[in-house]
């Protein structure tokens, strides 16, 4: 039978179990699409052709014998090039890791394989998986399937581009400042930032701290990217044992807050109108919808979340980088509240100062909890703008400094480049789950996503509500030229 490469992973798994298609056929279909379309994107940087085909043949034989099958039996996928994959190169976009071929799988990879998934290859990331655009000295830059002159976001940019273009039905990203959510928004796919600590990070490279591949980094969480909310739910079942809701909540039973006035970030008219329209669509469908945000000062939230994010990412620096950070901090007065000043101090802050910052974070987490006691979910933007044009200067591991001087255009006004992460980190600092759903496209044809935020461990609910929003707004669409 003819196979639709834009079928969901759930549909592919059902066709496989019914005997309507073989795993080898699915693998070959995706390998052919990677060969045909990836030169336009540079999303897939390592392809294990022989290994994927061998595994597909093995799984086809198992199914024919009536052997046990997992929920992803025979479904091919790619993985962000930060997850250790036994026998498949894993570089984290770093020249120092160009020859790294792990002996063992990351925990999430082992779980995917146990469920029957086939790893076809790895997708591009920024160097050392640090950046809001996706490119590195090893493999170059990844392009957005909606506009090759624009970024797919980062750091899961290769993952989002591959899923959007039909090169892979499912991916798993990692995210501390929007690295799942921003690429999902930029490329028009679904993405899930899981409750902190829910999805294991063991085997995430480069690890934090460097000596411990099982360490959890503050603010970081892992989660899937896909073309449907149903596939996010299926993936979370495999990755973390999160059972999907037996039945999606009826819109008329939902209480929704729409938050558009924080965290001290100006929204473009396109983004504001599309996110607001998604809230209106929920209201028309019967949900109780009101405008509300967490009861905290948005400027303070921006400052606290940004410093926590900088401190978390600084934990992986080497001694030389840390010494430089200490020198910069010593020369930065406490009165300097600019992003550059906050960054300089946060990269080398003492444990005492971090504890004080963490206390402010906990207060804001309680504010989030208070709001989520009143509503089921909060609908808010991912970023103030759709995908931005590529930075002419490639990012590197010290590129937070470059990002401090860059700006983005928000309806003709120059705004800080790092405004793109602020909506994400004020959610992430509270450890809350957030599901990105495509809610439409701008007049220029660029996709826009919205976050559906819920209380801790309400991952199944945020994914289900994202599915409702996607059904009302159109959800995923195939980028032009990739059908």
Nearest to 142 by CA among 117, 106, 167: 167
Nearest to 19 by CA among 60, 76, 77, 71: 60
Q: Which residue has the tokens 């506009």?
A: 147
80 labelled catalytic: yes
Query: Which of 179, 207, 228, 316 is labelled catalytic?
Result: 179
- Token pair of 226 as six digits: 């896909």
Question: How distant, in Å, are the alpha carbons of 73, 247, 471, 473, 476 from that of 285?
Answer: 36, 17, 11, 12, 20
Query: Which of 7, 22, 94, 155 is labelled catalytic?
Result: 155
Instruction: Indicate left, alpha or beta for 346 from its phi (over 0: left) and psi (-120 to 50: alpha).
Output: alpha
φ/ψ of 23, rounded to 5, equals -65, -40
* Residue 253 per-residue DSSP state: G
Residues 6+ apart with CB under 8 A from 293: 257, 259, 261, 262, 371, 378, 380
155 labelled catalytic: yes
φ/ψ of 147, rounded to 5, equals -165, 110
- Output b/e per residue, 259-290; b: 16+ Cβ within 10 A: bbebbebebbebbbbbbbebbebbbebebebe
Nearest to 155 by CA among 447, 420, 482: 420
* Residue 88 per-residue DSSP state: B
Query: Which of 22, 80, 168, 399 is labelled catalytic?
Result: 80
Give the Cα-Cα-Cα angle 199, 474, 79 (nearest 5 degrees).
30
**Residue 103: is it exposed, middle or buried by C-beta count within 10 angstroms (0-12/13-18/19+)?**
exposed
Contact (Cβ atoms closer than 8 angstroms) between residue 30 and residue 168: yes
Contact (Cβ atoms closer than 8 angstroms) between residue 473 and residue 449: no
343 labelled catalytic: no
Nearest-angstrom CA–CA distance, 31 and 42: 14
Which residues are catalytic, by number?
80, 155, 179
């Amino acid at each position: 039978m003819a196979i639709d490469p834009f079928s969901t992973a759930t549909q592919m798994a059902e066709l496989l179990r019914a005997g309507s298609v073989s795993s080898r056929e699915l693998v070959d279909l995706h390998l052919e699409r990677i060969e045909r379309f990836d030169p336009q994107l540079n999303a897939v940087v390592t392809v294990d052709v022989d290994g994927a085909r061998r595994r597909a043949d093995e799984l086809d034989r198992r199914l024919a014998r009536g052997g046990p099958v997992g929920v992803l039996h025979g479904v091919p996928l790619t993985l962000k090039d930060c997850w250790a994959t036994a026998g498949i190169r894993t570089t984290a976009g770093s020249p120092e890791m160009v020859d790294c071929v792990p002996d063992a799988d990351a925990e999430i990879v082992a779980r995917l394989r146990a469920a029957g998934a086939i790893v076809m290859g790895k997708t591009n990331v920024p160097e050392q998986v640090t950046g809001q655009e996706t490119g590195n000295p090893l493999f170059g830059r990844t392009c957005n399937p909606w506009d090759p002159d624009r970024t797919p976001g980062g750091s899961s940019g290769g993952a989002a581009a591959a899923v959007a273009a039909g090169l892979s039905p499912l991916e798993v990203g990692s995210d501390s400042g929007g690295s799942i959510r921003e690429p999902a928004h930029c490329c028009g796919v679904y993405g899930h930032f899981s409750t902190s600590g829910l999805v294991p990070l063991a085997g995430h490279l480069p690890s934090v701290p460097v000596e411990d591949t099982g360490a959890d980094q503050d603010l970081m969480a892992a989660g899937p990217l896909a073309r449907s909310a149903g596939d996010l739910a299926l993936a979370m079942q495999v990755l973390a044992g999160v059972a999907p809701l037996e039945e999606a909540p009826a819109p008329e039973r939902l209480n929704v807050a729409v938050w558009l006035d924080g965290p001290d970030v100006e929204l473009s008219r396109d983004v504001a109108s599309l996110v607001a329209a998604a809230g209106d669509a929920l209201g028309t469908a019967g949900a109780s919808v009101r405008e509300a945000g967490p009861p905290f000062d948005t400027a303070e939230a921006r400052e606290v979340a940004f410093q926590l994010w900088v401190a978390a990412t600084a934990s992986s620096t080497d001694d030389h980088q840390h010494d430089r950070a200490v020198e910069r901090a010593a020369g930065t007065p406490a009165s300097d509240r600019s992003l550059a000043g906050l960054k300089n101090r946060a990269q080398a802050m003492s444990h005492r100062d971090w504890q004080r910052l963490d206390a402010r974070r906990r207060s804001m987490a309680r504010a989030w909890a208070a709001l989520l006691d009143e509503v089921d979910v909060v609908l808010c933007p991912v970023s103030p703008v759709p995908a931005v044009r590529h930075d002419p200067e490639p990012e590197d591991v010290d590129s937070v400094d470059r990002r401090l001087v860059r700006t983005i255009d928000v309806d003709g006004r120059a705004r800080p480049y790092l405004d793109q992460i602020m909506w994400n980190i004020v959610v992430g600092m509270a450890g809350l789950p957030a599901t990105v759903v495509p809610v439409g496209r701008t007049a220029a044809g660029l996709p826009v996503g919205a976050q559906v935020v819920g209380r801790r461990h309400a991952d199944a609910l945020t994914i289900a509500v994202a599915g409702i929003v996607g059904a009302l707004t159109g959800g995923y669409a195939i980028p032009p030229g990739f059908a």
